[in-house]
Structure 1
Amino acid sequence: MRAFVRLPLTAAALAALLITAAAPAHTASASASASASAGAHRWTAGWATAVQRPSQSWYPTWAEAGFDHQTVRQTVRVGADGSELRVRLSNAFGTTPLRLTGATVGISAGGAAVRPGTVRTLTFGGSASPSVRPGDRPASDPVRLPVKAGDRLAVTLYFDGPSGPATFHNVAMEDTYRADGDHRADLGADAFAQKSASWYFLEGVDVAGAPAGARRDTVVTFGDSLTDGAASTTGADNRYPDQLSRRLASEGRQRPVLNAGIGGNRVLSDSACFGEKATTRFRHDVLGQIRVGTVIVLEGTNDILMGETAANACTTTNRRVTAAELIEGHRALIRAARARGITVVGATLPPGKGLESGIPARTRAALNEWIRTGGAYDTVVDFDRVLADPLNPGRLLPAYDSGDGLHPNDAGYRAMADAVDLDSL
């Protein structure tokens, strides 16, 4: 988790900021915009991520260079059962059409391998080689491939020419594989010798099989690197949203839990590296998902931290924020969710390196007090008290510290998942 940019807010600027929560950031393709309306009784969200513009931020990536005569294989875990599925791609931050030569989906056999008999060719509007316009987010045509919650899918994309810079998600905490040439139908992993820690052009997987009139039970976890799962074990699905999903399933209350975290993200400021500000991206990353019933909001740490750091390409125009400004940003998210009838759970900001004292500590404490007692959220999950060291409340409990003083380890993310009141969802 880093910190981000902030300009002084005049009354007019604040009003404009609040309006962004109700305005879309990008124009969606017809197939993507239909996902939450036509056929909504049929589809449920199986997996999703929040995309960002091509950059180098947390990890070295392939996003800025894109792909050329290369195959990219990406693994994701679905959180719902279904007999059919569709894959959602994104060229949201592209400046030129994305020309995809071909794509497949199958059940992962671990690493870059795919289980025999499960590979399916993907088409988009009947075309196996679609051209995706800048800003578009198309869903594939349905393919018959039965899946169970917890299954891992391998989505493989091939580009026989330059793709251009890739709309992507940086902190995947999952290995993505690349091979030279066309290997979209390969079952084995031998050709996929190159690895990255990000997802590219991939935004979601929906599964079919939900009965007509099914309740809105999708949970979206919205936030920064603490939601994204930074410092959790790569490939183990131990981010707190994953562990919340497993907890729900173990208690017979299985439902989709989507991760809309972006490492470094802020409430009030865009970044070239860490995504659009929360008040802008909330519309697509939360309200645009299928059958959302609850959102858990954990945002604000980076607004505080980045005001204390030197400006660079990722943090420019950083300045100190006030708790009052962050509260107004949170209120905008709450209003946008309530307008859609979505339950809004507020999460307090945990302690961490850079937040122990001075202005950052006071700002965090004031925001947390408002989240706990202000009554704006429908309910609260107190991650601060769960993760703090009782002997030194300004720091993470050592048993939950990944080692950087800011991000939890797998046990810490488990503690976060265990702190959520399942009856509040």
Structure 2
Amino acid sequence: MSTWTAAWTASPQTPSTGFTPNWSQQGFSGQTVRQVVRPTAAGERLRIRLSNAYGTSPLRLTGATVARTTRGAAVDEASIRHVTFDGRPDATVPARAELRSDPVGLATDALAPLTVTLHFAGTTGPATFHAQAWTDSHLADGDHLADGPGDAFTEVTQSWYYLTGVEVTASRDDGIVLFGDSVTDGFGSTPGADRRWSDALTELTGRPVLNAGIGGNLVLNDSHWYGERATARFGRDALDQPGVSTVVVLHGLNDIGFSEAPHEPTYKPSPLVTTAELTAGYETLIRAAHERGLRVVGATLLPLGGSDHWGPHAARVSDEVNDWIRSSGAFDAVVDLDRALADPADPDRLHPAYDHGDRLHPNDKGYEVMAAALADVL
């Protein structure tokens, strides 16, 4: 008998200004939001997961549909399915809670885009969201749940709203969660092209891969823009995903580097995080994953020389942390992304062929190299 397997996820964040314009602070009122996701596992049925994790009042959803994506905001009209919740077309998600839908009879193929459409007849207030989707979401006034064409959807942002999961019926227990910050989230990849390292890893391995990255996220401290600290969100965003066997931790550059970025406007004052503090944070994550019977892969931090995160403290601590990841034996396996992406002429820096341009984040090719290195140790 098939069981539920997580096929796609986005880690929820508190409503905020974000890196680019978004609708999280204003929320929705008498509007329909259409969002495109890319499930990484096939199944005969699916269900969606909605999060009101950062809502201060109940979220009232008037209706929802799922459909196969065609282009932009348009969907295959014959594939449109109305979603129910406990048999009803509408739903209320309590404040600080999440809600899964009833099963929907729509088959999914791995890596085939899926469109989820949500209609809010009333006013939602600020919306729990995921800031950096690297793909377009679309907004229309009125009820356009069952539209095939996307003409009514005239506004666009690159964030996801309320939607935090798609699960499918699949007899699999080999899912992988990539857990981290902006590098995991896909910063530097080509928008709309699905070129994050999570995308590349699914294409290489054929396994379900879940991207639990949040741009700017920290291991040890909360941030309004950058989400709850990793040690607080790990259970919800990684361990609670059904069908997962492995978690990959690539995290800590912001803990180390924000103190070197005096002009960073959104995280002040930034504490000087020590090697011991950061590795203790890793040990907290490892223990939690092992308690669930999950394998944990540690990824060394990428080279950051020459970036706005670089300085004497970051140089020393990043080397010490990477040495600990390699040699401590705390992780079940290690993928050495530091060495895989380093410039041979200057190992403190990203190889120019893999650099998005800020000396901190990889480009599409860099993400492919990361995925290939990880695939070798899975």
TM-score surpassing 0.5?
A: yes
Q: Secondary structure at the match of 1:344?
A: strand
Q: Deviations over 1:25-71 (max 9, x none)?
A: xxxxxxxxxxxxxx9x5211111111111111222210011011111
Match of 1:144 in 2: 105
Query: Structure 1: which 5+ runs fail to align?
Result: 1-38, 249-253
Partner Cα separation in structure 1 for residue 218 and residue 294 of structure 2: 22
Match of 1:226 in 2: 183
When the two chains are superposed, the root-mean-square deviation of aligned CA atoms in Å is 1.4
Partner Cα separation in structure 1 for residue 16 and residue 311 of structure 2: 32
Q: Secondary structure at the match of 1:44?
A: strand
Q: Deviations over 1:361-413 (max 9, x none)?
A: 10100000000111111111111111111111121111111112211110010
How far residue 239 of structure 1 moved from its aligned partner, in angstroms, is: 0.3
Partner Cα separation in structure 2 for residue 42 and residue 302 of structure 1: 37
Q: Is the 8 A contact 2:44 2:168 kept in 1?
A: yes
Match of 2:22 in 1: 61
Q: How does 1:1-20 map to 2 (within 5 A)?
A: none
How far residue 275 of structure 1 moved from its aligned partner, in angstroms, is: 0.6
Once the two structures are overlaid, the 10-residue window that deviates more, 98-107 or 52-61, is: 52-61
Q: Deviations over 1:153-181 (max 9, x none)?
A: 00001111211111000011111011111
How far residue 234 of structure 1 moved from its aligned partner, in angstroms, is: 1.1
Match of 1:378 in 2: 332
Amino acid at match of 1:284: R
Which has the higher relative contact order, 1 or 2, with Cα contacts under 8 A spaced 6 or more apart? 1
Q: Secondary structure at the match of 2:98?
A: coil
Q: 1:350 aligns with which of 302, 307, 320?
A: 302
Q: How many residues are aligned here?
A: 376
Q: How does 1:255-274 map to 2 (within 5 A)?
A: 255-274=207-226
Query: Structure 2: which 5+ runs fail to align?
Result: none
Match of 2:358 in 1: 404
Q: How does 1:23-422 map to 2 (within 5 A)?
A: 42-210=3-171, 214=172, 216-248=173-205, 254-310=206-262, 314-352=266-304, 353-422=307-376
Partner Cα separation in structure 1 for residue 27 and residue 10 of structure 2: 19
Partner Cα separation in structure 2 for residue 371 and residue 312 of structure 1: 28
Once the two structures are overlaid, the 10-residue window that deviates more, 351-360 or 189-198, is: 351-360
Partner Cα separation in structure 1 for residue 12 and residue 256 of structure 2: 23
CA spacing shift, 1:55–1:313, aligned 2, 3 Å? farther
Percent of aligned positions that are identical:
51
Q: Is the 8 A contact 1:355 1:361 kept in 2?
A: no
How far residue 81 of structure 1 moved from its aligned partner, in angstroms, is: 1.0
Amino acid at match of 1:266: L
Q: Secondary structure at the match of 1:413?
A: helix
